[in-house]
A and B are shown apart, each in its own frame.
Chain A
Amino acid sequence: AQSVTQLGSHVSVSEGALVLLRCNYSSSVPPYLFWYVQYPNQGLQLLLKYTTGATLVKGINGFEAEFKKSETSFHLTKPSAHMSDAAEYFCAVSEGQTGANNLFFGTGTRLTVIP
């Protein structure tokens, strides 16, 4: 069975500082991994995904994440935070390589950007 742990339910950074949101997963098969962003009172928007191939993946809005199999991690980073990055971020895992497409989500990390 899959599961996702997001360390830190709230993260605050200064504008222009590095953003690091942590995600560790558990999966019995090679996982597909996703990061979603949710702005207030909106649905979830896909930021980036890892399925196969290159372990460093780039997404929208300057975010990127690196799949580290040995650490079972998929941390999300952005070199320089912008005020518009303030939102809730969710990491998710699926066993897509087996044909099972259901997503299992972490509990989310709320990012605050301090001007």
Chain B
Amino acid sequence: DAMVIQNPRYQVTQFGKPVTLSCSQTLNHNVMYWYQQKSSQAPKLLFHYYDKDFNNEADTPDNFQSRRPNTSFCFLDIRSPGLGDAAMYLCATSRDLFQGGSTEAFFGQGTRLTVV
């Protein structure tokens, strides 16, 4: 009964070669997030979707893009990965605040990206 599922768990990509990470959820939450987490650091928010509305963080590089084709799926596209983009990428979801209920974010297990 996994709720937020990320694929793959481990991804190796070549320097400059586009890569896509995927996330799916069974919670039917309106909000989906992508975080980048480097070793021994806090997760850093890249962007989030409220339904189909995309919200980019001001300091997220243009190299990072995202797509959300429907409620259940969200993708992170890295157009030209650099060595500095090697990190754990975490997908999360949360409920619409106006629906009430739980306020926490639910995280997937993450995708560890290696750039060679």
Q: Is chain B found bound to chain A in the same assembly?
A: no
**Which B residues have a C-beta under 8 Å from some C-beta of A?**
none
